[in-house]
Amino acid sequence: MKNKTKFYFLFFIFCILSSNFINSCLYAEFDQVIFEKISKRRFDIVTIKTIYGDCQIKTDTKDNVLLEIIRSDAFQRLKNIHQYGITHFVRPDAVYSGPHDDYTRYEHSICAMVIARKFQLPLEEQIATLIHDIKHTAFSHVGDILFKQDGQDKAYHDLNLKEFLKETRISKILRNYNINIDSILPENIGNKSLKKPSPMLCTDRIEYTIHGAYIAGLLNKEDISQIISNLKYNHNQEIWYFENQEIALKFAEASLDITVKNSGAAWNAIIYTLTSLILDMAIKKKIITELDIKYYLSDDKIWKLLNSENFHSCLDGNVSTDDDKITNHLLDEYLMYRFIHYLENNEYFFKPLTKYTQLKNSNIHIIKTVCRGVDPQVLCNDNPIPVNLSSIDENFALLFNKLKTIMEQDGWKVKFKIPQNESIFVSQIFNLLQFQGC
């Protein structure tokens, strides 16, 4: 009788725990992404909490494929890849404000997927959005510079994604849900909502603009809610647009602000290029391997390695003739203790280094890149067809076109200052990377 009573008591407890709901339990947490699970009789309801609000996924539906991909090792690796790459370490003040001190590819990818889900995009597009950055290397776009292939326009992290996925558990996950891997590749369906030519709105650009402005203190959660509520997606025309001009302007100005201060800054380009050269030297000296950078080591581990005494001593000692050429190139072109922008009309701008052209005056350089600012489409008056914000806002058009002209046509004028009669050693590289006072 005692055993029978014990059985019924345990069965009663089990029924309570398996009933329609239990207390939400936090099973995974990140800075701007939190997962909560509610267990029901035959399935779980997982709530993903982000700065864009909540979205729910039932584990007994095909949508559960998203959660399985997130749990895969290949995707979990993105927790250790910072969205802003090397900038996270050398200029955190340029990208973070207030309580924010990180923003990872993991957060960006999940948040972009949540946006796609909120706007009821097809499951295949949600998956494509979730995995679009999964091949990023350590230090993110540093890898795109380091592993760039001659004659290839695509960034390294966008190349051969299908082959990459086949080497991970994600391909098996897709097969289990009868999803063809070709149907979720960003290169095949990404042009619908995920990727659009600059300066158009797209899911990727929407997320990293809003999120970047949020952690920089330019937007708050109320602003984000307002922007997302006003944002629309036309499934037939496959375009994103805003309904309200004022809100479109708030988003567009934020995109220009973070472009000028961070991704479009001259120091940003220089440290990315410099870091790629340093990593190239480390690979040649067998201090680190390409596979470490591509797959195995986190940003934090590689940063720690590059700052170690062992790394510096390896670079300083026993330099061969070939290494001399690498070192001289590094020192002559990039290892300048500080650089200043060439001021014109009392305006102070930054610009990234993708094209490096030396003028007749050896102390002045022209730096060109692609403008990352967004010129969103927005409804105007009673016209049902969205138009570019720049076509109806003269002030925004002047600012946007000015930055675009500087970045893509005229280039930024940059001066480098090299100390006279002073030896520069490779071991001092990371003193340079701090860019104190620039």
Domain map (residue ranges) of the chain: 61-263
* Secondary-structure breakdown of the chain: helix, strand, coil percentages, each rounded to the nearest 5: 50, 15, 35
Q: Confidence class of residue 235 from pLDDT cuts 50, 70 and 90?
A: very high
Please state, in angstroms and rounded to a whole number, the distance separating the CA atoms of residues 113 and 110.
5
Please state, in angstroms and rounded to a whole number, the distance separating the CA atoms of residues 60 and 42.
8
Report the range of poorest mean pLDDT among 119-133, 202-216, 423-437: 423-437
Q: Do residues 96 and 215 lie in contact, with contact meaning Cβ atoms separated by under 8 Å?
A: yes
The mean per-residue pLDDT over the stretch 286-314 comes to: 83
Q: Confidence class of residue 251 from pLDDT cuts 50, 70 and 90?
A: very high
**What distance lies between CA 108 and its chain's CA centroid?**
6
Phi, psi (deg, nearest 5) at residue 415: -110, 140
* Mean of all residue pLDDT scores within the chain: 78
Report the range of poorest mean pLDDT among 3-12, 34-43, 256-265, 305-314: 3-12
Bridge-based pairing of strands 25-29 and 34-39 is: antiparallel
CA atoms within 13 A on the CB side of 103: 27
> What pLDDT digit, counting tens, does each position of 159-213 carry?
889 999 999 999 999 999 999 999 999 988 878 999 999 999 999 999 999 999 9
Quick one: pLDDT at residue 374? 96
Query: Is it true that the peptide bond before 199 is cis, omega within 30 degrees of 0?
Result: yes
Q: In this prediction, what percent of the chain has a pLDDT beyond 90?
A: 47
Please state, in angstroms and rounded to a whole number, the distance separating the CA atoms of residues 275 and 157.
17
Q: Do residues 289 and 283 lie in contact, with contact meaning Cβ atoms separated by under 8 Å?
A: yes
Maximum average pLDDT range among 260-269, 352-361, 408-417: 260-269
Q: Which residues of 293-327 are buried (b: 16+ CB within 10 A; e: fewer)?
A: bbeebebeebbeebeeeebbebbeeeeeeeeeebb
Quick one: pLDDT at residue 367? 67
Question: Is the predicted pLDDT of residue 334 greater than 60, yes or no?
Answer: no
Task: Classify residue 40 by burial, with Cβ atoms within 10 Å: 0-12, 13-18, 19+.
Answer: middle
Quick one: pLDDT at residue 365? 62
Q: Is 126 helix (H, G, I), strand (E, B) or coil?
A: helix
Q: For residue 52, give the amino acid letter.
A: Y
Quick one: pLDDT at residue 313? 65
Q: Do residues 62 and 123 lie in contact, with contact meaning Cβ atoms separated by under 8 Å?
A: yes
Quick one: pLDDT at residue 39? 78
Q: In this prediction, what percent of the chain has a pLDDT beyond 70?
A: 71
> What pLDDT digit, counting tens, does each position of 58-88 carry?
999 999 999 999 999 999 999 999 999 988 8
The mean per-residue pLDDT over the stretch 243-247 comes to: 97
The angle subtended at Cα 406 by Cα 405 and Cα 409, nearest 5°, is 60
Report the range of poorest mean pLDDT among 31-35, 69-73, 81-85, 102-106: 31-35
Please state, in angstroms and rounded to a whole number, the distance separating the CA atoms of residues 244 and 242.
6
> What pLDDT digit, counting tens, does each position of 44-55 carry?
889 999 999 999
Helices (H), 193-336: 203-215, 221-230, 245-258, 266-284, 290-291, 299-306, 309-316, 321-333
Domain 61-263 has CATH 1.10.3210.10: yes
Question: Is the predicted pLDDT of residue 5 greater than 80, yes or no?
Answer: no
Q: Do residues 190 and 132 lie in contact, with contact meaning Cβ atoms separated by under 8 Å?
A: yes
